[in-house]
């Protein structure tokens, strides 16, 4: 990416749209639709679908009144996500990453431009990783914990957005047991989603250990003995789609594409590496069943207040007194699942 020298938020917004971002496997599959609004509080309606029949009427009767489907309306304020990088005189007076160690033609001004470019990319990647983590939290727990940090880095607010208290379902027989009825457990989840939502789930995303359970399972081994039957029921042909995502194959009889997702992130409180999908969990759901809402971000520039409705909002500022420049990137977003039965999270080993 070439260095740039943009300081206005609207110019930076156009640059942000062109920056390459990390792979967002879960967000791309389940939260394809995105909506931006100038509201900072969202009214989210969560619906439980059913298949009701219209009443039959006798001749001459008028239409019979029917009750509306039950739904829950919740008001949520999306968390404000923001990160900042500062460049000072001491930063541009020494070699930067990638610069020749001995002989260099870069001037301090050149280094500042390059650092600004790199900082924008890093900040955007951090926001994208945060959205993937929020998506994973919703998909695996039915909740989104929010830990709001103050300017000094201390936790100022803690809150949990709860979509469903009974999101995770445990199987009766652990899949680590070779005699477990893995296919039956998956089929039960598929049937549940189909009956509750009227749509067929089309994807299953596995934690790290699930592939081993599938290959060792007695039920699947028996199908493998009969070549024709195995092709009818399931076809396992593992293949990497990306460094973190691996397509395991297709469960033909259920119409499910099966993936193994090994993506990780660094926990902000412990500093340890965690996986987006727990090792012993499988997600079964309908792709595109959720969406991302982006709310209003308010910023002050030149003594005036501005409001932006965008997924990522950058801001450039400087202080001649401190001889520093700062680049910040903000977002106010929230993944939602309007029909909560669209995804089934199975915990396969307690």
Instruction: Encode pLDDT of 20-61 as tens digits.
Output: 567 789 999 999 898 888 888 887 777 665 566 677 677 777
Over the stretch 187-214, which tens digit does the pLDDT of each residue have?
Answer: 999 999 998 888 899 999 999 999 999 8
Which domains, from first to last, does the chain contain?
Answer: 9-23+34-49+70-162+292-337 (3.15.30), 168-289+341-347 (3.30.1930.10)
Q: Would the pLDDT of 8 be above 70?
A: no
Does the pLDDT value for residue 253 go beyond 80? Answer: yes
Average pLDDT over residues 84-93: 84
Tell me the CA distances in angstroms from 59 to 53, 56, 62, 64, 156, one per residue in order. 18, 10, 9, 13, 66
pLDDT tops 50 at residue 1: no
Alpha-carbon gap, residue 97 to 118, rounded angstroms: 10
Treating both helix axes as pointing N-terminal to C-terminal, what angle do 182-197 and 218-225 enclose, rounded to 10 degrees? Answer: 100
Rg from Cα positions in the chain: 25
How deeply is 180 buried, as exposed, middle or buried, from its count of CB atoms within 10 A (0-12, 13-18, 19+)? Answer: buried
Whether pLDDT at 313 is above 70: yes
Q: Within 13 Å and on the Cβ side, how many CA atoms surround 189?
A: 28
Highest mean pLDDT among 265-269, 283-287, 336-340: 283-287
Strand pairing category for 256-261 and 245-251: antiparallel
Report which of residues 96 and 314 the model is more confident about: 314
Residue with structure tokens 């300081």? Answer: 7
Query: Could you tell me which residues come within 8 angstroms of residue 65 by beta carbon, excluding any fewer than 6 positions away?
Result: none
Contact 335, 31 (CB under 8 A): yes
The arithmetic mean of pLDDT across residues 293-310, rounded, is: 88
Confirm whether pTM is higher than 0.85.
Answer: no
User: Which residue in this structure is represented by tokens 């293949």?
Assistant: 239
């Amino acid at each position: 990416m070439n260095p740039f020298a943009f300081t206005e938020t609207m110019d930076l917004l156009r640059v942000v749209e062109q920056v390459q971002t990390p792979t967002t496997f879960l967000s791309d599959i389940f939260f394809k639709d995105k909506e931006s609004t100038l509201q900072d509080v969202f009214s989210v309606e969560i619906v439980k679908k059913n298949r009701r029949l219209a009443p039959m009427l006798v001749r001459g009767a008028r239409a019979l009144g029917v009750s509306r489907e039950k739904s829950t309306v919740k008001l949520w304020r999306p968390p404000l996500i923001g990160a900042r990088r500062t460049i000072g005189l001491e930063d541009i007076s020494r070699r930067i990453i990638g610069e020749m160690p001995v002989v260099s033609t870069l001037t301090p001004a050149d280094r500042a431009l390059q650092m600004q470019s790199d900082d924008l990319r890093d900040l955007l990647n951090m926001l994208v990783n945060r959205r993937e983590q929020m998506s994973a939290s919703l998909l695996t727990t039915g909740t989104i914990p929010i830990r709001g940090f103050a300017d000094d880095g201390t936790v100022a607010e803690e809150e949990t957005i709860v979509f469903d208290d009974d999101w995770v379902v445990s199987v009766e027989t652990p899949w680590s047991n070779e005699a477990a009825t893995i296919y039956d457990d998956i089929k039960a989840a598929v049937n549940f989603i189909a009956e509750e939502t009227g749509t067929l789930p089309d994807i299953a995303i596995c934690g790290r250990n699930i592939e081993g359970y599938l290959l060792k399972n007695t039920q699947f081994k028996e199908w493998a003995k009969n070549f024709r039957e195995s092709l009818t029921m399931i076809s396992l042909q593992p293949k990497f789609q990306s460094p973190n995502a691996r397509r395991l194959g297709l469960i033909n009889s259920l119409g499910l594409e099966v993936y193994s997702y090994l993506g990780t992130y660094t926990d902000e409180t412990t500093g340890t590496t965690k996986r987006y999908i727990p090792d012993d969990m499988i997600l079964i759901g309908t792709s595109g069943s959720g969406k991302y809402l982006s709310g209003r971000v308010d910023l002050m520039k030149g003594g005036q207040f501005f409001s932006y409705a965008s997924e990522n909002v950058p801001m450039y500022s400087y202080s001649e007194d401190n001889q520093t420049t700062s680049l910040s990137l903000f977002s106010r977003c929230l993944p939602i699942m309007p029909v909560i039965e669209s995804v089934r999270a199975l915990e396969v080993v307690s």
